[in-house]
Structure 1
Amino acid sequence: MKKFLLGICSVLLAVFVGALPVAAEEDLLTMAQKAGYPATADMVPKASIVVDADSGQILWGENVDLKWDPASTTKTMVVYLTFEAISQGKITLDTEVVATETDQAIAGIYALSNNKIVAGETYTVRELLTMTLVPSSNVTTLMLAHLIHEGDDASFLQLMNDTAQSLGMTNTHFYNGTGAVSGAFEGYYAPAGSDPAASNEVTAKDMAILAYHLIKKHPEVLEFTNSTQVTVKAGTPLEETFDAYNYSLPGGKYGIEGVDGLKTGSSPQAGFNAIITAKRGETRLITVVLGVGNWADQNGEYYRHFFVNTLLEHAFSTYQRQVVAPAGEQEIDGQKWTTDQDLYAMVKDGVAPQLTVVNDHLQVAGSIDPMSGVAVKTAKKPTEHSSGLLLPGGTDKKKTSFFSSVPLLVYLLVPVLLVLVLVGIFLGRGKRRKAKHSEIGNGTYSRRHRRRK
């Protein structure tokens, strides 16, 4: 008996373990070191994630819901809202903005990441986006915010937070619009009701969601982030050239194939963060790392790329895009669905990911996009009668219930006749009455009676 129970437990354990997600073969630090990077334990990101930019499928994740200061990756939200305004026809890339005295004053604050802005000069949206994304200018970020939003700074923060919620960034809250605490702006930027010392809060998953929607809806953003060096106001007294902080770009200090964006950020509270995307063939990936190293060692701006590159190379080398659910009928969690399209997903080592149906879409379970995948419809079922019995026309006649062909009156008479028979037996009536009942027993009623027993 003990051997039998032990065998059963072993089988259940094997099934349970087999149902668990496949764990990473190695930790991120070991992976980075094996990739040839001089990484150490104190450099490792506090949180990291890799997602497929086509479906939102998560390919790697550690502490993805850990709340962290995004620093200047905050500006990605302002960029997203700017491209939304462009797509809505409110502005264009050539729309001009005249710099104000306040803009010039902010540009002169040494402690902030800024660039040369002169009051009275005009700057195009294209130039402002370039300076926001590459040198991470705080002043140009605010100039964009003031252009696309008619309200005050506090209501623009509300717009940022509302947009985050609408995108599914449920663990995000913005206290400022640039990533630098508002108290650092020396009074030139002070959103009413917002704590001037408060840092923004995001998660790696939330920033991946933001980057996913930005790239999917506005892929032209990558035209601003795919070069290691950019120049604005060329040939004018205001000309400036900036080197990108994204050292994973081809030609950069740690350049690798396919990288073409997106945004980095750092601060004393955050350490060093990055949102990096790369495309190889038809596959685009998005990687987010938060909290690499610490502010005391400014080489953290290089260290973050040890882990970005390691994660990208690992995902590109171990996953392949394949059909995981061909068009037609699929059974998911016991429910049958039909779809007109093949569902593609990233597959690792030939093991297909778990599938689910969300919002009438067949998709990979755990996707950061609840509307990803392919549309499905419930598979057709045979027509049913209100009693729950199949109609003769809705199924094979051989499988039609015998009772479905019996008149309703018979069902009503059966209980009455049954009572009479029982009473007759109980009183011990004569042989004649018993014989009569025997005759009835050879008829239709008796067959019903015996079946109901």
Structure 2
Amino acid sequence: MFLVSVVCGMPTATKAEESLNLYVDAAILIDADSGKILYEKNADAPLGIASMTKMMTEYLLFEAIESGKIKWDQQYSVNDYTYKISQDRRLSNVPLREDGSYSIRELYEAMAIYSANGATIAIAETIAGTEENFVKLMNEKAEEMGLEGYKFVNSTGLNNADLQGMHPANTGASDENVMPAKSVAKLAYLLMKDYPEVLETTKIPKKTFREGTSDAIKMSNWNWMLPGLVYEYEGADGLKTGTTEFAGHSFTGTAKRNGMRVISVVMKATNANGEGTYEARFDATRALFDYGFAQFSKEELVPAGYKIPKHETLAVEKGKEDTVAIAVKEPISMVVRSSEKDLYKPVFTANTEKLEAGVEKDTVVGKVHLEKTEGTDYGYISDEAAEVDVVTTEAVERASWISLMFQGIGSFFGNLWNSTTDFVGGLF
């Protein structure tokens, strides 16, 4: 039996949120499996995203590989643009030879591990011909994903001023990519949901680019929360850092513990003195991870076969029975605070007010989702509540023609009687 009761857990939960003390312009934490939002702060404000941009480039790359448009072993020949950008060691880069040729896989690894900007532009050109065309694909994909408040002007997340006058046409000389934390989290959520293999690369702490050649360069992952790096965090295996003067120190992180995975986004993180540092973004991320794993767990809130109060049956026309029993088909599980699992109630939405016989068992008649009875519920990253089907638990056969005839006669005289009594009652 599913019970809904009110418990006195809200003050503790509120204190837990307030104690995060995040020094960031925006932040969000979500459950990576369902997209349930566990915490947010200023998550709808468009802000600079810097190299977190590369998650969109990664998505479009995986999509192009999946469709057969390009291949991992396909070679890219360096041009003047990618050569010059890759030689700028003020930026994150692996220097590319002016006359060099590189496989898409090694360019991807340089992008995902070391945030190499020249390599990223090379991937964009391979997919779309030019970075300008690739930016169009980025914005189109963002719209398709349902992201909000986004603006992509290049494939890397650099400020266009760093592109030595070669920035994509129809973008400003000092433009930079922007997106709210909520949209960044949704992008990360979709990337990991559609292409989970991305974590096989983002979890690599260190790797040598072109190992065994004269071009060999050691790459240390900018995600310093990975195993063996300076801010190591148990279970961390992705996803993408971002740093520019405009965006500050930002980071989209993900970690998994005890079967639960979370995704966090922190934007323009600072220390207590207001100084933007690498440590600040990882401290903020650690606080979000700790909060998620300590305060939340996945709970079964509605069991399979649960009968919704006041909606245990649905009317049936022309059947041997007047009603049919209905119930929730599958259990509903949700990541919730342990102290709040009794604050959610099932809400039924019917597809129809009645069915016509014969009705088969397991006919879908509606949906049920959970709503919180008190306190803040941030909803889902895609604004869609987790819901399951409500189905018939038995079959109802169609009544015989004789039964239907008597039902019709009974209905006729019943309606006639009601009309008569209404008329007589109206006289008085």
**TM-score class normalised by the smaller sequence:** 0.7 to 0.9
Contact 2:28 2:181 in 1 (8 A): yes
Q: Residue 348 of structure 1 aligns with which residue?
A: 337
Q: 2:133 aligns with which of 151, 155, 161?
A: 155
Q: What pairs up with 1:69-88 in 2 under 5 angstroms?
A: 69-88=48-67
* Corresponding residue SS for 1:24: helix
Aligned pair in 2 of structure 1 residues 45, 164: CA closer, same or farther (>3 Å)? same
Alignment partners' CA distance in 1, 2:347 and 2:417: 48
1:252 aligns with 2:252: no
Structure 1 residue 227 displacement after superposition = 2.4
Alignment partners' CA distance in 1, 2:332 and 2:169: 48
| Larger strand proportion of the pair | 2
* Corresponding residue SS for 2:55: helix
* Corresponding residue SS for 2:224: coil
Q: 1:66 aligns with which of 45, 65, 88?
A: 45
Structure 1 residue 313 displacement after superposition = 1.2
Aligned pair in 2 of structure 1 residues 407, 108: CA closer, same or farther (>3 Å)? closer
Q: Residue 314 of structure 1 aligns with which residue?
A: 291
1:133 aligns with 2:122: no
Q: 2:97 aligns with which of 113, 118, 128?
A: 118
How far does the alpha carbon of each residue in 1:261-286 deviate from its partner, in whole angstroms, 9 at most, with x for none? Answer: 11001111111000000011221110
Contact 1:245 1:301 in 2 (8 A): no
Matching residue's letter, 2:208: T
Q: Residue 406 of structure 1 aligns with which residue?
A: 413
Q: Residue 175 of structure 1 aligns with which residue?
A: 153
Contact 2:238 2:255 in 1 (8 A): yes
RCO (CA 8 Å, sep 6+): is it higher in 1 or 2?
Answer: 2
TM-score (norm. length: structure 1): 0.73
Q: Percent identity?
A: 29
Aligned pair in 2 of structure 1 residues 448, 254: CA closer, same or farther (>3 Å)? closer
Structure 1 residue 31 displacement after superposition = 3.5
Contact 2:248 2:276 in 1 (8 A): no
Contact 1:109 1:185 in 2 (8 A): no
1:369 aligns with 2:382: yes
Number of aligned positions between the proteins = 381
Alignment partners' CA distance in 1, 2:384 and 2:7: 30
Contact 1:345 1:364 in 2 (8 A): no
Alignment partners' CA distance in 1, 2:9 and 2:17: 21
Alignment partners' CA distance in 2, 1:312 and 1:392: 67
| Larger helix proportion of the pair | 1
Alignment partners' CA distance in 2, 1:91 and 1:333: 56
Matching residue's letter, 1:404: S
Q: Residue 14 of structure 2 aligns with which residue?
A: 24
Contact 1:363 1:373 in 2 (8 A): yes
Alignment partners' CA distance in 2, 1:377 and 1:24: 34
Structure 1 residue 50 displacement after superposition = 0.8
Matching residue's letter, 1:376: D
Aligned pair in 2 of structure 1 residues 448, 245: CA closer, same or farther (>3 Å)? closer
How far does the alpha carbon of each residue in 1:238-261 deviate from its partner, in whole angstroms, 9 at most, with x for none? Answer: 111111121111222121110001
Structure 1 residue 208 displacement after superposition = 0.6
* Corresponding residue SS for 2:177: coil
Q: 1:198 aligns with which of 169, 175, 179?
A: 175
Aligned pair in 2 of structure 1 residues 72, 450: CA closer, same or farther (>3 Å)? same
Which sections of structure 2, spanning at least 5 residues, go unmatched?
314-325, 352-365, 372-378
Aligned pair in 2 of structure 1 residues 215, 409: CA closer, same or farther (>3 Å)? closer
Contact 1:56 1:372 in 2 (8 A): no
* Corresponding residue SS for 2:243: strand
Which sections of structure 1, spanning at least 5 residues, go unmatched?
1-14, 33-42, 384-390, 415-446
Matching residue's letter, 1:47: A
Q: 2:70 aligns with which of 85, 91, 95?
A: 91
How far does the alpha carbon of each residue in 1:270-305 deviate from its partner, in whole angstroms, 9 at most, with x for none? Answer: 1100000001122111011001029x9986111111
Contact 2:9 2:340 in 1 (8 A): no
Q: Residue 419 of structure 1 aligns with which residue?
A: none
Aligned pair in 2 of structure 1 residues 240, 276: CA closer, same or farther (>3 Å)? same
Aligned pair in 2 of structure 1 residues 331, 67: CA closer, same or farther (>3 Å)? farther
* Corresponding residue SS for 1:328: coil
Contact 2:159 2:244 in 1 (8 A): no
Aligned pair in 2 of structure 1 residues 226, 356: CA closer, same or farther (>3 Å)? farther
Contact 1:53 1:212 in 2 (8 A): yes
Q: 2:247 aligns with which of 247, 251, 270?
A: 270
TM-score (norm. length: structure 2): 0.77
Matching residue's letter, 2:91: L
Larger Rg: 1
Cα RMSD after superposing both structures: 3.9
Q: Residue 420 of structure 1 aligns with which residue?
A: none
